[in-house]
Each structure stands twice: as C-alpha cells, then as structure tokens.
Chain A
C-alpha cells in the first residue's frame, strides 16, 4: 500500500503525466499487492469514461470555448457596469458580478479569469491599483467553479454517485456568499466615486438591453435545471449550441477557422481531463479493493463532523496549493465520500466544501492555473501576482468557513427544487 502511494507521488513530482502516476500506482496495488488479473485495469479505463452524465463535460467545455472566442464577456460586462459607476468601489464590484454571471454560463475558472480579466483589468487598475487588480482577477475567476455549471461538480458527483443537478443547485448560494464577502472587502478598501462621474440612465438601459441575449444564457441553464426543463447534460448541449449560434448568427463572429480552433481546444481539454478520469477510476478501484476507504472509516470513526470538516479544509487547501482541482477531486472524492457519509455528512455539503476548497487552490501559489493565466495575459511577473493574492485569499477563507459550518444556508435550494 505504502509503495502504491509512493509511486504516485514520485511520478507526479518528477513531472511525469499525472495519469501515468495514477495508472502506475493502481497497477502496482492491483497486480502486485492484491494479485488481481489485469482485466480490471482495462475495464476500469473503459468504464470510468463510459458514463452518460460525463458527456456534460465536453459540452460545457465547448460552450466555454465559444464564449472565449467571441464577444460574450465584453457584452456581458458592458451590460451592467454603467449602473454601478456611482457606487463606492463600483468598478471592481462590477468585475465580481461579471465573474459570477460568467461563472453561471461557463464551467471553467481560468476561462473566467482570462476572459473577464482581459476586458476589465485596465479599468480596475485605474480605479484601484494594479496590484489590487492582479489579486482580484486571479482569485475571482475561481467563482466560476463554485457557481454552476461547474466541471468540478460534475466530476465530484460522478465519482461519488451524487446528483449533478442537485449539486449544481447547491452551489448557487455559496457562490453568492463568496461574492458578497469579496464585494464587502472591495467596498472597504475602495475610495468613493469621484464627483465628476455622472450616472447616465439612458446609456445604462441601452447597454443592458443590448446585453440581454448574453444575460439570458445563465437563466436558460440554471432556470432550466431548476425548473426541470432539462438535465445537466442537456443543459450543456443547449449552452454549447446557444454560445455558438448567438455570436455566429447575430454578431458575425466565430468564422470557420475559429470554430475549428474551438473544437480542437475542446477535444484537447476533454482528452486531458478524461484520461485522468479513466486513470483515477483504476486507482480508486484499486484502493477500494485494498479496502482503504474501510480502513479510513475505522481510523476516523468517532471524529465529530465539525472536526472532520476542519481537517478536510486544511488538507484540501494544502492539496490545492500543489494540484489542479481536476486531479484532486478525482483522486480524493471517492476515498473521502464514504468516510464523510459514515460520519453523517450530507453528500451535497461535502461536494460544496470540496469545490470551494479546490476553487481557492486555483489561485494559491506555488501552482494555480489562474495565476498562470493572469501571468500570460498581462505579462506580469508571477511573484508580483502571488504577492497580490493574500488579502483575497483571506476573504475566500472567511467565506469558506461560513460555507463549511452553515450548510443550511444553501442546501435549501436543491431541497426546495425537489418539493415543487
């Protein structure tokens, strides 16, 4: 067992692809420790991927790709920023709102950090400071994986047999809680709007009207899932088609070479994620075979749910510093979920705690995808970005504590949707 885990860590640290580490460790545990025929590895590679609910992943990735390559974010931002010009900290607050809304359309945090950042970085740098803007855009992008739709939630739900639709709905309020915490912080540290800034009602209304077709997408996706118009998988397909047709037909964007690029990006990302899903299926089945979840259950028996969640938060924050959320959720969720269940923790609650922690990991140094996105877009030094992040990290941690210990704040939404 020890060597199995050691193989995994050595492979990953040495820079071998993560799937190689997972497969190597899985094979070692199955073939050498458990002496099980190799069949299980192959059927695991097939079965881990062959799940209907997982088809939502490429759909949402494709939708995100279309949004990234069109004027979606630009139109989104312009549709409501004119309303906030007189508010203290209005411009960065608008950026947070834009991240929330973009998050409600797209499942990927780096896409949010990059797309919204590209549009709003200059204005926020001017209204506050560049350091502030760097920290804010690196961290606020993480909202996209807490606000549904979220690829990480799909992966968590599939790995633990939770309902994707219910987990999506459970994520709405936590994303708002984080947003409120961020906005409060922004309000405190920003100066009041200058006297020379004028609010123009006519202009604001015009821009909102123009942005309406874009603003409708989150309503379709989330409202559709809430009202039961379609399943999460169908919601993915609908948003991909919408994110393509709207710019293609009405904005004259997404010319054929761009479409080709979007498809290529999506197959690449899908391939990267799904080989991990396949390999982690083999790995977690190997752990199950070696009865590791059972041992963990016994080891942690008697721990109070509060203590367990605190421990989990600490572990996940550390894991988030070094790993991308995709691998982290795939490797840890199947092991942690049975333990949490035996301690009486709601699966949706656990899923949200997982998601928020790993969202924080997106912008914690040394490794965080959002940091690199911001670095490559704005050509700033990684050290400068990392130095800008801490205040926002603290805000996220405060939100995390609220979310961890007051699940009743958000679990009512999926429950209410079920009572209709």
Chain B
C-alpha cells in the first residue's frame, strides 16, 4: 500500500521523499510545540521533500529506549531535557547543576552560542548532533510544605527528573531526591509518597499537580533546557541541501519556541496563583545557604565525570564574563 512506501526511512537518495522521525517523551508542552514548529518549517522549506513524523508521549518507548533508538538511527531526532541524559551522557547534566547558570533563558542563549561548542563536540563523539537548545522553563520546586529555612527540607522526599546531580542537589539540602515515573506523580504527591517535585512551573500546571501541593519555592531557579539531538550518521547521509534545511530549521524556530515557553510559564504561574498557590521567594540569606550547600554537588559532579572538567570550566568562565 502507499502508506508503506512513504514511511521507508532507510532510503534517502535524491528524488525520493525523506522521512524524519522525531520523538519526545512529553505531551502538550514546549517540547511538543517545538517539534510541531520544526515539522511545519522543514516541510515548507523542503517543498515536501522531507516528511517529518512526530512521536510525542513516549510512543517509541521510555527516555532510555528513545536515546538508544536515536543512537541506532531508528529515531532521527529527539527532544528531551538534558536532565534525562544521566547514565547516557552524564557530562551534559552540567546544565542541570544548581546555581550554575543564572537562569534558563541565559543558559539556552549561551548553549546555542560558542559557549556550547564543547558540549556539542562531546555529543558528536557519541554519534549525535546537538541541533539546538530550547528553554523549557525555570527549574523550581512545587511542595506540600512551606520553606523558611534549610531545616524545612529535613526528611522530605522530592521527585527529581532523574539526573544524579539533581538527586545530589536535594540531598545536599537535607531532603531525599527520588526519581519517579510521570504517570504516578499526581497520586504519589497527593498521597504523600513524595512531598514535592522539581520541574518547571508549566509542568506543574499542565499536570495539575498544584491541585495537591500548594507551595512553589522559586529555587534553585535552575536551567531546564531541552536539547534537540539528531543522529549524525543519518544526517550526513542526506543530500547537503536537505541537511542544511533541517539544521537551519532547528535554529530558526528558536525565537518562537522561546516566546512560547516564556508565555506559557507566565500563564502557568498566574493561573496557579489564582488557584491559591503561594509562590515563595527565598530570602537572600536562605539563597546563600542553599547555594553554599549545593557546592558539594558541583564537586561530586566533577569527581564522577573527570572528562567534564574542561566543559565545566569553559562554561563557568563564559557565565562569569
């Protein structure tokens, strides 16, 4: 049937239509918005020579499986937060270190510029191309308890996004960082199996988690950054004009994606405040304490990943200047 001929992804010679399979773990969020934008731009620019097939919502497996699929070339493009790259490419979780980047928007801008070169070349060694970085949002905490001092975290369990640096972060504050599957989060939070979760405000809002936890603690204001990765070998096998279109498009949608993420975050915060959620800003002293406690996370990260040192240093220099 014709459906079969269209979806042959293996052949990408000259005249035939190229199929690009792009996946992401989430539903209805900045990442799905980005993949839809990408599809629209690529298909328009290529005059339909490239067909972008979208697979949101973990249709092609968990984060771990999609990463393996990307490496094998089953999936050609994958959008996911860098915090899910732990275990696969721990160096990239440098982005997720607490109190490293001032905020997510700066982080994304820097990573897309020369400061991100080291990171990109590191991925290329693993057969992947970092086509673009997008802002997901400020990484903050949604909690069932208010925070007024470091002691507030004692004995509390906070779900983190998976990367070891995030586990270490919560642990360094006196709590316990636990990874957990997204489908169970709502019930776990509501039932007290966890006392809070760490992600961007738009994630709390879309998952309706604020219905069962009423405090947003606006720290560490970490960088929740989406990385759009592609399979290098597949990309290089394409005719050069198509390859250019794909790489250009991934960059071109950047401003639109940024605008969408910012607006969504603001809307999420406004809506949640209207629903009675209290947004807590840390006092300067508390912030200093948290930052001080988090230093050990940076040290552990560098100890665990000796090859991350150059990337860490160069990024740190760029942030400082």
Contacts and interface: CB of A to CB of B under 8 A. Distances in A.
**Contact, chains A and B (beta carbon distance below 8 A):** yes
Interface of A: 1-2, 33-37, 39-40, 43-44, 46-47, 50-53, 157, 161-166, 225, 227-231, 281, 285, 288-291, 293, 295, 417-420
Contacts of B9: 34-36
Interface string B179-196: 011111011101111000
B68 A43 contact: yes
Nearest to A417: B190
Interface of B: 1, 3-4, 7-11, 21, 53, 55, 57-62, 64-65, 68-69, 72-74, 180-184, 186-188, 190-193, 211-212
Given A44-B65, A47-B61, A288-B59, 20 more contacts: A1-B1, A35-B11, A37-B72, A39-B69, A39-B74, A40-B61, A44-B61, A47-B64, A52-B180, A52-B181, A161-B58, A163-B186, A165-B187, A165-B191, A230-B193, A285-B59, A289-B55, A290-B7, A295-B3, A420-B190
Contacts of A293: 59
A43 B74 CA distance: 11
Closest 9 CB pairs of A and B: A228-B191, A39-B72, A35-B10, A165-B187, A47-B65, A288-B59, A161-B183, A43-B65, A40-B74
B53 to A, nearest CB: 7
A33 B187 contact: no
A266 B258 CA distance: 51
A228 B193 contact: yes
A227 B187 CA distance: 10
B4 A33 contact: yes
B193 A231 contact: yes
Contacts of A37: 72-74
A34 B191 CA distance: 43
A279 to B, nearest CB: 14
16 contacts: A1-B1, A33-B4, A35-B10, A36-B10, A40-B60, A40-B69, A40-B72, A43-B69, A53-B181, A165-B191, A166-B186, A228-B193, A231-B187, A288-B59, A290-B3, A420-B190
Contact of A291 (B7, B183, B187): B7
A161 B25 CA distance: 12
Contacts of B212: 418
Most B-side CB within 10 Å, residue of A33, A43, A227, A291: A43
Most B-side CB within 10 Å, residue of A36, A52, A290, A420: A36
Contact of A163 (B8, B59, B73, B183): B183
A391 B301 CA distance: 67
A165 B7 CA distance: 38
Nearest to A227: B191
A200 to B, nearest CB: 42
B184 A164 contact: yes
B211 A418 contact: yes
Contacts of A46: 65
Contacts of B4: 1, 33
Contact of A162 (B68, B72, B183): B183
Contacts of A295: 3
Nearest to A293: B59
Contacts of A2: 1
A129 to B, nearest CB: 45
Nearest to A295: B3
B54 to A, nearest CB: 9
Contacts of B68: 39, 43
B181 A166 contact: no
A290 B7 CA distance: 7
B74 A36 contact: yes
Given A40-B74, A288-B59, A34 B3 contact: no
Most A-side CB within 10 Å, residue of B60, B180, B191: B191
A263 to B, nearest CB: 27
Nearest to B73: A37
A119 to B, nearest CB: 35
A418 B186 contact: yes
Contacts of A418: 186-187, 190, 211-212
Contacts of A285: 59-61
Contacts of A291: 3, 7, 53
Contacts of A417: 190
B216 to A, nearest CB: 19
B69 A157 contact: no
Nearest to A169: B187
Given A36-B9, A47-B65, A165-B191, A288 B183 contact: no
A23 to B, nearest CB: 16
B204 to A, nearest CB: 15
B211 A53 contact: no
Contacts of B183: 53, 157, 161-164
Contact of A34 (B8, B61, B65): B8
B310 to A, nearest CB: 31
Nearest to A224: B191
Nearest to A158: B183
Contacts of B21: 289
A45 to B, nearest CB: 10
Contacts of B190: 228, 417-418, 420
Nearest to B3: A1
Nearest to A334: B59
A53 B57 CA distance: 18
Most A-side CB within 10 Å, residue of B1, B55, B187: B187
B67 to A, nearest CB: 9
B192 A228 contact: yes
A420 B186 CA distance: 13
Contacts of A162: 183
Most A-side CB within 10 Å, residue of B9, B64, B65: B65
Contacts of A39: 68-69, 72, 74
Nearest to A48: B61
